[in-house]
Chain A
Amino acid sequence: MPVVDIYSGMSDRPLQEPTLLLLTALADEPRHGYGLIQEIDAISRGRVRMRTGTLYGALDRLLGQGLIRVEREEVVDGRARKVYALAEAGRTALAAEAERLRAVVAEAERRLAARHTPAARTKGALA
């Protein structure tokens, strides 16, 4: 199945980073809004700090696209919050994106190794 496009929801364009990070944060367990902000911060090693409005916009979109679902609603310390989980379509989209990224990494490593090979040979010839 192609990766769901962030723009049209139809083609196989790669996921944008905020979407990828959100889906990744939900891959192992359901999380509430602030839990997602913390998890995205951790996954991106502090590089991406998703703010409340941006997170909520993304959650609305992913819910509409059927990539995530509301697992349950709960009240903690007098505050209402929803717990979000990855839907089956989201899991498939994330797996496809991971596969695409894996292929890119493999190709990058292959080319880096290929670049090093002539240098190694030269060194061997001189030795």
Chain B
Amino acid sequence: MTQQPPPRALRWALRLHPAAYRTEHGAELTAIYAEATRDAGPLGRLREALDVAAHGLRQRTGLSSDRTAGRVLAQAAPLTVAVATASSVANVLWLLDPAVRDPHWSSSLPDVLLLADQGLVPLFWLAALTAVWAGRWSAARALVLPATVLRLADLPLLLLARFFHAAYAVAAVNVIVPLLTCALVLAAPRDLLGSSRPQRAAIAGTTALAAALWTVQLADIHYPLAGGPGIAPTLWVAVFAIALILSGRDRLPAAALAVALLPVALQKTVWVLNPLSPAGVGAVLVVLLSGAFTLVRARRHRGRVSPPSAA
């Protein structure tokens, strides 16, 4: 019997794998896919093909579960959900703060829609965090998608509500941050995600850390910290830099925390750069120096470890 050519969805999914990997494993992946989808409907076949595609993307980007980056991402995924949950709650509190709102705020349809939209996002993130805590990763990932879509949907509303004024860099960050957060959760290798028990202290600690940092920032609106505007957002950048410096091949929890903090650290760096302030310059320097330090250390470590034999 001759082998049937793979269906179109699977062909696309296989194309996402590196060529060498596809040559070596393509036939077996096709065989497993064919058997797994023998009695499946179109939706089942699509989901199976998407899973093969995700595997291909992880192989191509070095995020598969047999690589250090994949293992870091698996540890970072629950922490990312924790940070996103705290951030979404803080975002609503921030929008409801009278000191933040313009005089016309919440008097027009975009404003009302925006508030409704922002009110829903924390519910999805809280449900996702609960699912992560219970080890229900399929549910958690499914919940992250609507949370991201809703978060993205508020961008046109924010523009309509004239909330950003001229700070379009901040508007761009409002697109990048939810997408990056979603990608960090979805890109984690599924076979390393399961019970949250070994990471519960880390999840709780990260949630508390994010809540504390947001509380400082919210309090800064009414009780400005010494050091001028931009100091409170810079705290995120400082914590991110510390986590980055502490991270390493043998210290995956710190690396995972740095990855989880990355979206908000990026957001805050852009915030303090618009307009440019001493705090903003300091934040960028801290990020660049800690990143350079981490890169140099990783290269040194790689140099010390003898490369695998090519034979």
Contact = CB atoms under 8 A, between A and B. Distances in A.
Contacts of B33: 52
Contact of B193 (A16, A52, A61): A16
B39 interface: no
The 6 A-B pairs at the shortest CB distance, nearest first, are namely A53-B55, A58-B191, A16-B194, A34-B35, A51-B51, A53-B51
Interface in A48-71: 50-58, 60-61, 64-65
Interface string A1-34: 0000011100001101111000000000000011
B198 interface: yes
A77 B28 CA distance: 13
A8 B34 CA distance: 33
Contacts of B55: 52-54, 56-57
A78 B192 contact: no
Nearest to B35: A34
Interface of A: 6-8, 13-14, 16-19, 33-34, 37, 50-58, 60-61, 64-65, 77-82
Given A17-B194, A51-B51, A57-B64, A79 B58 contact: no
B52 A53 contact: yes
Interface of B is mostly: helix
A67 B125 CA distance: 36
B52 A34 contact: no
Q: Interface residue tally of chain B, by bracket? A: 35 or more
Nearest to B64: A57
A57 B47 contact: no
A81 B34 CA distance: 12
Contacts of A7: 71, 74-75, 192, 252
B31 A81 contact: yes
A55 B64 CA distance: 12
8 contacts: A18-B192, A37-B36, A52-B29, A54-B189, A55-B191, A56-B32, A61-B64, A78-B1
B11 to A, nearest CB: 14
Nearest to A14: B198
